[in-house]
Amino acid sequence: MPHSPARLKEMLDEGTRQFCVPGASLGVWTGDTLSEAAAGVCNIETKVPVTPETLFQIGSITKLYTAALAMQLVEEGKLALDVPVRTLLPDFKVKDESVAARVTLRHLLSHTSGIMGDYFKDAGRGEDRVARFTAMMAALDQVHEPGEMFSYCNTGFVAAGRMIEVANGTTWDKAIRQRLAKPLDTPSFSTLPEQAMRYQTAIGHLGQPGRMMVTPIAYLAASNGPAGATPMAKARDVVTFMRMMMALGVAANGNRVLSAGSVEAMHSMNIVCPKGMNIDAIGLATFMWDWDGDGTYEVFGHDGSTIGQAAWARYHPASSTAFCLLTNGGNGKALADRLIREIFSDAAGIAPPELPKPYAALAIAPARYLGRYANTMEEIEVSEEDGKLVVTVTPAPDYAVMSGGPKRISLEPASAELFLGVPPGMTLPQSWHFLGDDGTGRARWLHSGVRAHKRV
């Protein structure tokens, strides 16, 4: 049975206190009813209360919107999923010329391009900012070959945003307002700070419980907008988008936003994730889960994270259940896990499987794992201490504020490939997958935080 607004409020109040989340907004659609709840404050300094009308940064949930824009243009014959990006953007470059010549929009939207994904250089605020950022991608290395594996790629979505601009003849911001926010009837959905200022907004918070501070950087660079750097929304706005997806492209107001075929394409598996990751497979932008273990994907959505804010979106079309949680700091991951399990269990009769458990008795050969792994955002040193693997994560200078600084995490094996470790200030384990072979029996990649880090 659906939860009442009073019960949702009680759950959210209790969870924000327990997991030290400054503020949160929750929207749940079950069957034919929208329920909302809010808790905490928008800013620990001003102490303005969060309400369901408060806008939070939705981070990479934005990628669902960017993919939906792309699919609208595919329907119109202005974009194609499986032809090279250079067909539309002849000047597109990355460091590896062979990749630049053959990477496709499908690679970009499914995080399989292999292009280094975390590159948050600011290309300015002009209307050509997405074009300028895409030109800056010429400096980016590969972490793997296109189609070889899944590695989360923000930069790929900025390039996809540029393709949308060229195909649509407008900026990405205008395209998302005209093609999605307006037909969905979600006018508060904002892609720029000056739009969000029309509403009450939440600010992010950094630090550990008891030592939190308002983030000194409110937004990531606007040039990364198509990947999720700047958009803000109410939980209700995101629920409205998910309702459209569950209705095979028809919005609650009757407007057709996508064709049923486009929704099916976004929900169709392009790549399977390593076993034990918190995502089972990737469609077109869409995260996909097989919660009931029947071999099919029945739950869809996305997570989002910016500086001091995090968001979760899940929807289960079979029961017409949609969930959106927006937070502005603290251990939001644990709060989201608790709420998702209870709400979907009661409303849809389905819930995520239990998290992987460590297998302490498993004998491992440390030499396969030890060494340094890196991407543009961070370097990870894997060492052995008292018979256990320990990872030391050191962010690159440009990402120190975003990541919260260096971390040391002790790992426990769950299998020969999968290890588990709990980051500081969190209560749930993060997965660490050691994948591939560098030719000497050592792992070629360390996959963590949904990103591949290449052995260096």
Q: Catalytic positions, please?
A: 60
Q: How far is CA 29 from the centre of its chain?
A: 21
Q: Distance between CA 216 and CA 230 in Å, rounded?
A: 15
| C-beta separation of 89 from 114 below 8 A | no
Beta strands in 110-180 (DSSP E): none
Q: Say how far apart CA 388 and CA 421 lie, in whole Å.
A: 11
Identify the residue whose tokens are 């960017």.
66
Burial level of 48, CB count in 10 A (0-12/13-18/19+)? Answer: middle
How many degrees, rounded to 5, is the angle at CA 164 between CA 247 and CA 195? 80
Query: Which uninterrupted H or E stretch holds 377?
Result: none
Instruction: Report the first-to-last Cα separation within the chain, whole angstroms.
Output: 52
Distance separating alpha carbons of residues 90 and 83, to the nearest angstrom = 12
Helix H or strand E segment including 37: strand 33-40
The answer to whether 3 touches 28, Cβ cutoff 8 Å, is yes
Sign of CA dihedral 232, 233, 235, 237: negative
CA-to-CA distance for 254 and 252, rounded, in angstroms?
5
Q: Is residue 172 classed as helix, strand or coil in its secondary structure? A: helix
| Neighbouring-strand partners of residue 27 | 36, 324
Of 259, 243, 338, which is closest to residue 27 (Cα–Cα)?
243
By CB atoms closer than 10 A (0-12, 13-18, 19+), residue 199 is: middle
**Vertex 153: Cα angle to 152 and 158 (nearest 5):** 150
Sign of dihedral through CA atoms 55, 131, 216, 210?
positive
Helix (H, G, I), strand (E, B) or coil at 265: helix
